[in-house]
Amino acid sequence: MKWIVALLSTLIVMGCTHKVQVETKEPITINLNVKVEHEIRVKVDKELDDLFSDDSELF
């Protein structure tokens, strides 16, 4: 009987939710100063390089 009461009280407590609202007169601005640098390196085998450099009709 005690476990039923404990289960019901746990379910009742879990049903309570808190609601938080933030009200401001001016909009919230987030300034991000981000510098993105990237470097891409592609290595091609000599055979593939020769294959594409030839005047073959691949495409």
| pLDDT of the residue at 50 | 72
Residue 58: predicted pLDDT: 57
- The pLDDT, as a whole number, for residue 55 is 61
pLDDT at position 56 is 57
Residue 49 is predicted with a pLDDT of 73
What's the gap between Cα 38 and its chain centre?
A: 20
2-52 confidence digits (pLDDT tens): 888 888 888 787 777 777 787 878 888 888 888 888 877 766 677 777 777
Question: How far apart are the C-alpha atoms of 1 and 9, rounded to whole Å?
Answer: 13
